[in-house]
Chains A and B, each alone.
Chain A
């Protein structure tokens, strides 16, 4: 009998542990289920970025600040949420402000913290009819609202109505945001220097964070549009972590095209690291050079694609010298 005692003690301890775990589950259930989620956004004023120190005299707060994380962003912008999340969104802070002299006129400030400058560029979408404004190097006005990139922030100042008073107040708020929000500029690639200038369509350089051309392996890509002798082409460049990673992405791109039946377009021997494919009358060129992967995607003219790909290859090579 005495030999049973340690065993019984052990069983009791184990049983108590199991009961404690079950109690923990019950407490967890209670906490979780006591917070009904009807899809409402929470006014997390304490955690949201504060904007009131940026307010020009013309504006006054109209609503409390709100904060949305990738998990809750849909509660603010619904079907557009994935667009920002895919580009690396850290959080969105926003708040509505009204004109002090005319409280029925209001605007809303959206500050998307995209974690990195490239992420902010990835969601900065040009609009037709927009007018460039002197605010940051990427900023425009459209329909009385402002859209701009400041460091890792993509910012929208959305005016409820396109009135002069709201536009002025919105611009003052935007200028205060730019002046008061510190950003890091060191170590940035200058995208304008990545691409050869001949044939480059002005203001067409943009950044895609993920799943570029539908290829999961191809991320953090700069894109640029070209028009050469009337033919439109799209060039791309991605700076990888290492030359090995560049070669891996190069191979994945070719494999991806191959899955759709793409075949070698030109029997000529290309330079090291450059190759081509033809698929349904479109031409694809890709190369790797050091840490860079680049190419021309889906160009309807082989000669144009070839010329642009080699110019790009040479240009990238000169960047690394």
Chain B
């Protein structure tokens, strides 16, 4: 026979133990649940629905590329699109077209740190002439978006051309994960303007860049990212590769009419610029960047993100087979 008093103590301890376990479990679950709820509330990660960007390419068009030299961007892009077979090969009546510009900085168009407003307006107008039901111009700039779009001239130009300007509000971001990617995982991307879009065109200038060596069409997709995206500068070449994996555009337009040769990506003086008089249009963003490297006096091999993006299947750096002789305008 055991001592009843001892038994009472044992029973009491076991009950207490179980009770405390339950309380601790409830506390941990409540704290975890609250954390998950709060994280989800921001739309930064978790909670919000994951999205995958659509494929905006036109398979029937295949790989195409056109290079035009000249000084007038509007004329050059018109000629380049004709060399690509005509914009109607890419834009169908009723399409909703998104133009992702580089509007990263609140910088005047003369300093060429952002997409040229005349070029953006021309492409937007041409898309509308092709029967596009809507043309959206967007970016998630580094600086204050309103200042960036207004001072760069892109906003007024887009509106004049009949395009809709979409600024990057918080509720337009959704988390995305790039399949096979290591960096872009559960990361907020500016998805709102792309939701329901049929075509995507990237327009960006050729610029020197202190971290990546060059800012061209693939780097332009960096402007779709939200959050503290500067962390990707620590592994910039792989980040650009994953951006190229994330976005399959209808076409990219790389504007090297004037190139920011040094002190990029911000520049700050016309002395940083050179008239390189070249515009590259391509369905293959890797090929466009490989060609554009020469405008900065660099080879594709000096820009590791080009080979990485090609190896990841985002395109091919071998553009020779795409080229007809560049056409000179003016």
Contacts and interface: CB of A to CB of B under 8 A. Distances in A.
A144 interface: yes
Interface stretch (B37-45, B243-251, B304-312): B37-45
Given A36-B44, A39-B229, A75 B271 contact: no
Given A33-B39, A76-B142, A144 B168 contact: no
Contacts of A37: 44, 227-228
Given A39-B228, A160-B108, A79 B212 contact: yes
Interface residues of B, number: 52
Contacts of B272: 127, 143
Nearest to A23: B31
B15 interface: no
B159 interface: no
A79 B105 CA distance: 12
A15 B188 CA distance: 38
Interface string A127-148: 1111000000000001111010
B210 A75 contact: no
Interface in A82-125: 82-83, 96, 106, 108, 125
A143 B233 CA distance: 29
A38 B140 contact: yes
Interface stretch (B87-95, B178-186, B262-270): B262-270
A81 B142 CA distance: 12
A77 B226 contact: no
A52 B233 CA distance: 34
B264 A29 contact: no
Size category of the binding interface on chain A: 35 or more
A79 B226 contact: no
* Dominant secondary structure at the A interface: mixed
A63 interface: yes
B45 to A, nearest CB: 10
Given A38-B140, A160-B108, A160-B151, A82 B233 contact: yes
Nearest to B222: A78
Interface in A262-280: none
Contacts of B233: 74, 79, 81-82
Interface in A178-200: none
B230 interface: yes
Contacts of B225: 39
A123 to B, nearest CB: 11
B265 A26 contact: no
Contacts of A74: 142, 230, 233
B34 A26 contact: yes
B298 interface: no
Interface in A30-51: 30, 33-34, 36-41, 43
A128 B151 contact: no
A128 B262 CA distance: 10
B31 A38 contact: no
A162 interface: yes
17 contacts: A18-B27, A25-B31, A26-B34, A37-B227, A75-B230, A78-B142, A79-B264, A79-B265, A81-B230, A82-B210, A82-B211, A106-B151, A127-B271, A128-B271, A143-B272, A156-B268, A158-B268
Interface of B: 20, 27, 31, 34-35, 38-39, 41-44, 104-106, 108, 110-111, 140, 142-145, 147, 151, 168-170, 173, 188, 209-212, 215, 225-230, 233, 236, 262-266, 268-272
Interface of A: 15, 18-19, 22, 25-26, 29-30, 33-34, 36-41, 43, 63, 74-83, 96, 106, 108, 125, 127-130, 142-145, 147, 156, 158, 160-162
* 6 nearest A-B residue pairs (beta carbon): A143-B270, A74-B230, A143-B269, A160-B108, A142-B269, A33-B38
